[in-house]
Amino acid sequence: MRRKKNIVELTRYGAEEYLGKEKLGLRLLVDNVRSLQNVGSLFRTSDAFMVEEVILGGITGCPPHPELTKSALGAEESVRWRHVDSAEEEARRLQGEGWRIVSLEQAHDSVDLADYAPQAGERIVLVVGNEVEGVSQGIVDISDTVVEIRQCGVKHSLNVAVSGGIALWKISEAMQRKG
């Protein structure tokens, strides 16, 4: 008989211990996301996939905030984060330090996320964007790669927290396999 795990069996580490763990060379840059629930969900997903840092750009809300905490479930305490005024300027700065900028956006000449495979040792900044406008064109213009999630339904986009979660899972899995 299959039995669900209880909370004690699921507990891996406390927030302080998690902060000290070695992370993947993967950061998440959140470009002008308005919904604090989406931001909280992105924190929770970042915790699950060992994201090194969440960078909140522009109008993106920051902890502490009850709406963010409600969906983050404490992940805003276990994941390093900071706020920057301009996501585009931060993307340029990180790119200058050798980080590869990978934007999650529907664009001409994008790469299907299913086919995207970072090179061994690459440091990746995944950029997710505003719920309506997406990733800003300035960031898309400087991106090393633009990835897109193939969709088959009537709707042409997914919620930013959902699409960010899919992309973080895929990229983190690929990075762990390549070492």
pLDDT > 70? residue 179: no
Helix (H) or strand (E) holding 43: helix 36-48
pLDDT > 80? residue 178: no
pLDDT > 70? residue 129: yes
**Number of C-alpha atoms within 13 angstroms, CB side, residue 139?**
33
Mean pLDDT score, 98-104? 98
pLDDT > 70? residue 41: yes
Burial 13-44 (b: 16+ CB within 10 A, else e): eeeeebeeeebbebbbbbbbbebbebbbbbbb
- What CATH number matches the domain at 23-178, 3.40.1280.10, 3.30.565.10, 3.40.190.10, 3.40.440.10? 3.40.1280.10
Nearest-CA neighbor of 30 among 59, 1, 73, 68? 59
Give the model confidence (pLDDT) of 67-89 as tens digits: 999 999 989 999 999 999 999 99
Q: What percent of the chain has pLDDT over 70?
A: 99
How many other CB atoms sit within 10 Å of the CB of residue 173? 11
Cα separations in angstroms, 116 against 2, 46, 92, 119, 147: 35, 19, 22, 10, 7
Q: Mean pLDDT for the chain?
A: 94
Mean pLDDT score, 86-111? 98
β-pairing, 145-148 with 100-104? parallel
Lowest mean pLDDT among 3-7, 52-56, 120-124: 3-7
Distance, CA of 90 to CA of 84 (rounded, Å): 7
> Which residues on neighbouring strands pair with residue 127, listed in sequence order?
29, 103
Distance, CA of 130 to CA of 163 (rounded, Å): 12
Mean pLDDT score, 130-145? 97
Distance, CA of 136 to CA of 148 (rounded, Å): 15
